[in-house]
Amino acid sequence: MTRMRYMFNGSATRIGKRLTFSDQISPLGTRGDQGGLDAGFTLIEVIIVVFMLGMAMLVLTSLFLNQNQVYQSQTAELNVTADARFALDDIDSSVRAADVVAASYSSYTTGTQVLVLQIPSINASNQIIAAAYDYFVYYLTGSDFFRQIFPNASSSRQATTKKIASNVTGLLFSYDNGDSALVKQVTTDLTIQQSGGRYNRSITISSKSRLRNN
């Protein structure tokens, strides 16, 4: 036989020697008007909570992806700017040290995408060697931009080929005179592009450099 505990919902009044109860008795632990021990979540409530958590995760993931795209884009922009400036600084330094823009040297001919500079040779003390010249050649191969040095036998400079920029999509050398021997100023326009997430970042930088003693 099952025993049940009861609780009294109300108050008791003493009348003579008997107690009179004003309310009904209800089993302990059942759900009444004020809620009971068996109160819990319904299936609909669980579904709503799961849906809200899913939406929150979706929003957080979207924010993370957007921030990552912004970071990649900004990094690409910084990289292309740094590469372009480095290449132009290298060209400017060489042009300022050059006596003349050479018409050609070895297999290279000065033009819109090739620059040949004749620069006085130097000794180990960085002193100019009279009547001796080194040749600096700037040229584009595919999307890579190179500087190659052809030193004189008496020069302290080393024969080197160095890539000074990559991802180059545009290069233009222009001169203030059609005769290379009379050129006093070289203008360089350089465009570099790099992928930054879903977008490509591109920058074009120009510089004007005057030859030595001009």
User: Measuring CA to CA, which residue among 83, 101, 86, 78 is closest to residue 173?
Assistant: 101
Model confidence over 107-134: pLDDT tens digits? 999 999 999 999 999 999 999 999 999 9
- Dist. CA 120–CA 101, nearest whole Å: 12
pLDDT attached to residue 90: 96
User: Band of the pLDDT at 79, cuts 50, 70, 90?
Assistant: confident
- Dist. CA 6–CA 1, nearest whole Å: 16
Torsion of CA 134, 139, 144, 148, to 10 degrees: -10
Query: Which range scores top for mean pLDDT: 25-34, 71-80, 132-141?
Result: 132-141
The residue ranges of every structural domain in the chain are 70-210
The residues, ordered by sequence, that sit 6+ positions from 102 with a Cβ below 8 Å of its Cβ are 110, 116, 117, 118, 135, 180
pLDDT attached to residue 76: 65
Q: Does residue 183 contact residue 100 with C-beta atoms inside 8 Å?
A: yes
SS3 assignment, position 134: strand
